[in-house]
Amino acid sequence: MADLETPQAVPCSERKLGVHEHFMRVAMREAELAETAGEVPTGCVIVERPEDGTLTADARIIGRGHNETEGRGNPTSHAEMLAIAEACAARGDFRLTDTVLYVTKEPCAMCAGAIVLARIPVVVYGVSDPHRGGQSVFGILDSEALIHRAEIIGGVCGDECRVRLQAFFRARRRQGQE
Ligand SMILES: [Zn+2]
């Protein structure tokens, strides 16, 4: 994880960046819950985007999740998958066409695939994963071969998300050596 990179945040207005940081911090609190449970610390929230597209900090969170692969004994229990399931249940619809997904680390191939199937239009992530990322490596989120393409905003609170992951893996390596 030493080579996780933080891409340049896409330029946007101060206000918009502020909103993205606000919800990324909520996703980071989810990542903390994962870490407390001994899971890889990734967290995700899905937020409703009003019809006019103007997202504010008052927007409703309809899905939350943090990595629970160990606890549930299930390799699909990634933060994004759990948040998508919760949001779909809240909606009674698998199409999340007016939402924004925030996740502390770039989605893997599985989660990027689920994001496309759920038609989530905007994906905001913290730190990118140049070795396993569903976008960096496979280009899934904006692939022309698929039914839906998402707008991608990377690097929001990227340094903080990277530091948390690196500290987690460093500690785990240390424990492995003891
Ligand atoms: Zn994943």
**38 and 101 in contact (C-beta within 8 Å)?**
no
Q: What is the mean pLDDT of the chain?
A: 91
Residue 108 Cα to ligand 1 midpoint, Å, equals 4
Percent with pLDDT over 70 in the chain:
89
More confident residue, 111 or 2: 111
Residue-wise pLDDT tens digits, 75-107: 999 999 999 999 999 999 999 999 999 999 999
Residue 16 Cα to ligand 1 midpoint, Å, equals 26
Q: Average pLDDT of 21-47? A: 97
The protein residues having their C-beta less than 5 angstroms from ligand 1 (an ion) are 78, 108, 110-111
Q: Which of 30, 48, 80, 160 is catalytic?
A: 80
Q: How confident is the model at residue 175 (pLDDT cuts 50, 70, 90)?
A: confident
Q: Average pLDDT of 108-122? A: 98
Q: Which residue has the tokens 């785990």?
A: 172
More confident residue, 112 or 1: 112
Residue 144 Cα to ligand 1 midpoint, Å, equals 21
Check pLDDT > 60 for residue 39: yes
Residue 53 Cα to ligand 1 midpoint, Å, equals 26
Check pLDDT > 60 for residue 11: no
**95 and 71 in contact (C-beta within 8 Å)?**
no
3-class SS string, the chain: CCCCECCCCCCCCHHHHHHHHHHHHHHHHHHHHHHHCCCCCCEEEEEECCCCCCCCCCCCEEEEEECCHHHHCCCCCCHHHHHHHHHHHHHCCCCCCCEEEEEEECCEHHHHHHHHHCCCCEEEEEEECCCCECCCCCCCCCCCCCCCCCEEECCCCHHHHHHHHHHHHHHHHHHHHC
Residue 10 Cα to ligand 1 midpoint, Å, equals 22
Residue-wise pLDDT tens digits, 118-161: 999 999 999 999 999 999 999 999 999 999 999 999 999 999 99
Strand ordering across the sheet containing 43-48: 61-66, 43-48, 99-105, 122-127, 151-153
51 included as an active-site residue:
no
